[in-house]
Structure 1
Amino acid sequence: MKKIHILLSALSLAAAAPATLSAQNNFQLVEESMSNPDNTPAPVYPVPSDRQLKWNETEFYAFFHYGMNTYTNQEWGTGMERETVFAPTQKPDPKQWLEVAKKAHMKGGIAVVKHHDGFCLWPTATTEHCTRNSSGYGKDVDIPKDFADAARELNMKYGFYVSPWDLSSPYWGKKDSNGNYTDEYARLVFLPQCAELAQYGKDQFEMWFDGATGGDYAGGYGSYTTSEKRTIDNSQTYYDIPNLRDSIHNLLPDVVMWGVGDEVRWIGNENGYSGQTCWSMGDGEAGSEYAWMWAAGESDARSTKGWFWDSNLDNEVKTAETLFKMYLETVGRNATLLLNLPPNRAGLIDDSVAEQMEALGDLLDKRLGTDLAKSATVTADCTREAMGNGNYEAGNLIDGNKDTYWATPDGSKKAVIELKWDTPQTVRYVSLMEYIKLGQRIKKFKIETSEDGVTFTKRGGNQATTTVGYKRIIPLNGSTAEYSTDGYMAKAIRITIENSRSCPLLHTIEVF
């Protein structure tokens, strides 16, 4: 199939300056030098790009599945739904969605603005199957605009989910007389839709593309009687992904592209957990120490029974306790958590969901809100020599600055760090954060506590204390499900790094 240039030409992107470095390569060009005046540790490749780092720092954010399926009580629509079926009982309020997410301490959200049924939640120029032809409160709704405006007002990150698969489009999966796929869908529909969404703001942090590649096909807009099976055999070629990726990155320099950009990965389940061993490279729940591309994990999970709100069913909202466990098993295991909060038919997050989000925020405040490490004295048995502007002392671990870090000398893959208090503290969790700008390194560690500052006891139960990555939170009682009411009394905590790919680097230790 010939290369498609419509996205570039439509937005005059050909004149845009090309990216100086492909985020997919994850290799940094550095000027050759015979010296290292600051004694900076050498990178352990692969390393994340700037946009990948900014994305990882979002940590916990919301998914908002809302659209035609909300009004048909379906998880997957057919593409044959009349536009007037999208009928909110009042004007949808994306600001309320994000306010609910913010109470749970989420830092942003991704709005589903086009699902597989093809209905667009903005008055797009690419199809009549959109809000322009809805009625009442649904007519001319522009969810991307309202969502982006609300996110900026609330100082939250935002992005959009747009399905490549489109059950409503007569162009999707279409073949010519020779049995070859045509370029009409990508050229006339999908790429222009992505370009339209990019215009809602250069500050988007993620654009989400699901991986569905075909199935039962309804026949397209305006044709509600045909039904057939259509699939595609190569999504990279069919959707012209290289062109899409480069064009969107030129428009949105900080956006990561889930599903097509090779920048972040699906963690491998929709149940809100990652592997206890979790590398930011490779695939699935555990990743791989030996993979050559940086692709940290994202866990997409539901707060209710389904992805979309179903007015005919009990939506079975998960409790704050269940969601806190999910948080520990994703954000606390070197992944991000994308938690779905489905708006109801009024275009609002239901009170039953909002209540649990507020309760979750309270739990996060209570259990992970007061960092005891800030009042500790911290020491390490080995520290990299400070030279020039370099500073690698243990005090960097508790200074609250993500840009300073502790490091060992080259060749030292083991170390012992101790935090001590004058009086015993009640402790339940320890959080570690690697300085991943220079790569993920730690392969094995252990945590011990001491009530008298002399005799130490290993904590963490059967938790696999292997990888750390961006963030690792260890429940000292060994359970992500059971909160330790009494905790452990500790005058000292010892963190022993037992193995690392290279000299270990940590920028933050927190104790709760």
Structure 2
Amino acid sequence: MLSPFMVTTFLAAPPTPIEPLPSPRHLAWHRLETYAFVHFGPNTFMNQEWGSGREDPSVFNPTALDCRQWAKTFRDAGLNAVIITAKHHDGFCLWPTDFSTHSVKATSWKSGKGDVLKDLSDACREFGLKFGVYLSPWDRNHPTYGTPEYNVVFQEMLREVLTRYGEVSEVWFDGANGEGPNGKRQIYDWPAFHSVVRKYAPNAVIFSDAGPDIRWVGNESGHAAETNWCLLERDRFYPGTPMYKELTEGHEDGTHWVPAECDVSIRPGWFYRESEDPKVKTVEQLMDIYYRSVGQNGSLLLNVPPDKRGLIHEIDAQRLLDFKKARDVAFAVDLVAKAKVTATQTRGKDKRFAPANMQKEGFDTYWAVDDGVLSAAIAAEFESDTTLNRILLQEPIQLGQRIRKFRVEALVNGEWQPIVNGTTVGYKRILRFRPVKAKKIRITIEDARACPALARFAGYYSPI
């Protein structure tokens, strides 16, 4: 029998996730945000981008290769992973494979006993970085390329790489498909290649033009679109697709969660050339790329190629550290953290979905509204007029990507003034605008695929 003094509390149910949804491997990948790409191989020593496959392996001879220097540089620069060109189009393998003669085994480097993948994977573990690999399926050297046998060879190469070097977080494929040494092109067995990755690296995301997990952003400038859905009509695409322009925005009605990875080089080329030492991107350029990749719901894969010594060049290393410092300065003080945050509605009037949740980092807690509500507003009220020029928003993407359109306004001298408009949010959206001194900042979500939810609402003043 219930006591007459017992009070029954009805808690609101969390929002129903709206598909497609990210997998656990997706969620881990999203959190990396910014990481390094490393192009290294015979091309480094021949001042070229694409090798012919006919180069003498002995050209690969770094005089001071130090993967610990790479990893420490990347760690100190705030990069969270490294993806290396284990095999580029020339077919040269940076590990001592049993399935090709075109590898480090055929060089004088370390008397043919060297293994770049072992050195780098060990260094990544030491410095707390995730380790990923790029293997080009195109092979301009292997005699079986262009025949069914080569698909088996490539699977064996994948197996070697995925079983010898510990955990692999990402496997990077492109759709390059030129002629091999016999003049033939290969019909790639992508389902078989993917199955090898799933078997030996089940937690790794697979990248290509078509995913299946992560998609190319459609350019090599490091830029996502301002409208950027993590969703994609995946089955319409294949590696090497001519429809790559669609990859920049994704699809609101996409069938699968396939977010965008934005690749760009810190230099004009992908492999090191001494002539490009004066052309390393400036901090201002790198910050703009950061805002247009990570700040537009993508990730940033920044290529930093080692030089002929086998080291990250001093210019590149310093530029990376300056880039890290610029990010630290830009996001040093969250001005919304101590503001009073309110909303036009809270889901079920339940404090578990209160606006204050957006002032915390992470996705476990969030603000949400009732089912059926597709438009709502949140506001941050400061103790006094506050100058800011950046707004950061994040959705709790475990519930799916929801927001279609929003606007930002500032209360200046008692009047609301428009600041900037936006479309998608996703994992992270950072809006840049001219500095504004305001008593309040208001975000109005104008439309959404389902009831809106936000895990993060932050504001900054950045001098950069």
TM-score by length of 1: 0.82
Contact 2:12 2:347 in 1 (8 A): no
Q: By how many angstroms is 1:316 displaced?
A: 1.3
Structure (1 or 2) with the greater helix fraction? 2
Q: Does 1:160 align with 2:133?
A: yes
Aligned-partner Cα distance in 2 for 1:396–1:246: 40
Quick check: 2:155–2:196 contact (8 Å CA) kept in 1? no
Shift of 1:455: 2.1
How far residue 139 of structure 1 moved from its aligned partner, in angstroms, is 3.0
Shift in Å, 1:37: 6.9
Q: Which amino acid in structure 2 is aligned with residue 470 of structure 1?
A: Y
- The Cα offsets for residues 341-363 of structure 1, whole Å up to 9 and x where unpaired, read as 01000111111111111111111
**How far apart are the structure 1 equivalents of 2:144 and 2:285?**
43
Aligned pair 1:381/2:344, yes or no? Answer: yes
Alignment size in residue pairs: 437
**2:34 corresponding residue in structure 1:** 60
Aligned to 1:305: 268
Equivalent residue, structure 2, for 1:173: 146
Deviation at residue 99 of structure 1 after TM alignment: 2.2
Is contact 1:245-1:261 (8 Å) kept? no
Structure 1 contact 397–506 (Cα < 8 Å) conserved: yes
Structure 1 residue 423: Cα displacement: 2.0
| Aligned residue in 2 for 1:503 | 451
Question: Matched residues, percent identical?
Answer: 38
8 Å CA contact retained: 2:84, 2:132: yes
Structure 2 equivalent of residue 269 of structure 1 = 219
Alignment pair present for 1:190 and 2:162:
no
Deviation at 1:314, TM superposition (A): 4.7
Question: What does 1:431-446 align with in structure 2 at a 5 Å threshold?
Answer: 431-446=392-407
Q: CA RMSD in A?
A: 1.8
Deviations 1:34-70 (A, max 9, x none): xx97512111111111111111111111100001110
Q: Distance in 2 between matches of 1:444 and 1:353?
A: 38
Amino acid of the structure 1 residue aligned with 2:43: N
- Confirm or deny that 1:457 pairs with 2:417: yes
Deviations 1:244-271 (A, max 9, x none): 3233223222200112641111100001
1:476 is paired with a residue of what secondary structure? Answer: strand
Aligned pairs for 1:101-120 within 5 A: 101-120=74-93
Task: Tell me which residue corresponds to 1:470.
Answer: 427
Q: Secondary structure at the match of 1:323?
A: helix
Equivalent residue of 1:57, what SS?
Answer: helix
**1:44 and 2:18 equivalent?**
yes
Show structure 2 runs of 5+ residues with no match. 1-9, 233-245
Determine if contact 2:71/2:124 at 8 Å carries over to the other structure: yes
Aligned residue for 1:329, secondary structure, equals: helix
Structure-to-structure mapping, 1:317-466, within 5 angstroms: 317-385=280-348, 391-452=352-413, 454-460=414-420, 465-466=422-423
Give the whole-Å Cα distance in 2 for the aligned partners of 1:371 and 1:402.
17
Contact 2:89 2:138 in 1 (8 A): yes
Residue by residue over 1:437-473, the C-alpha shift from the partner in whole angstroms, topping out at 9 and shown as x without a partner, is 1111111101112245x4221113xxx5111111100
Deviation at 1:203, TM superposition (A): 2.9
Give the match for residue 230 of structure 1: 184
* Correspondence 1:141 to 2:114: yes
**Secondary structure in 1 matching 2:437:** strand
Secondary structure at 2:279's aligned position in 1? Answer: coil
SS class of match (1:349): coil
> 1:176-223: CA deviations, max 9, x gaps?
xxxxxxx21121x211111111124453211111210113x3x3xxxx
Choose the corresponding residue for 2:438, options 472, 476, 490: 490
- 5+ residue gaps, structure 1: 1-35, 175-182, 220-227, 478-486
Distance 1:466-1:312 versus aligned 2 partners, 3 A rule? closer
| Contact residue 12 and residue 348 of structure 2 kept, 8 A | no
8 Å CA contact 1:148, 1:200 repeated in 2: no
Stretch of structure 1 that moved more, 195-204 or 349-358? 195-204
What residue number does 1:281 align with?
Answer: 231
Of 70, 83, 86, the residue aligned with 2:57 is 83
- Cα deviations across residues 154-179 of structure 1 (Å, max 9, x unaligned)? 112120111111111000003xxxxx
Q: Is the 8 A contact 1:309 1:315 kept in 2?
A: no
Query: With structure 2 as the length reference, what TM-score do the two structures score?
Result: 0.90
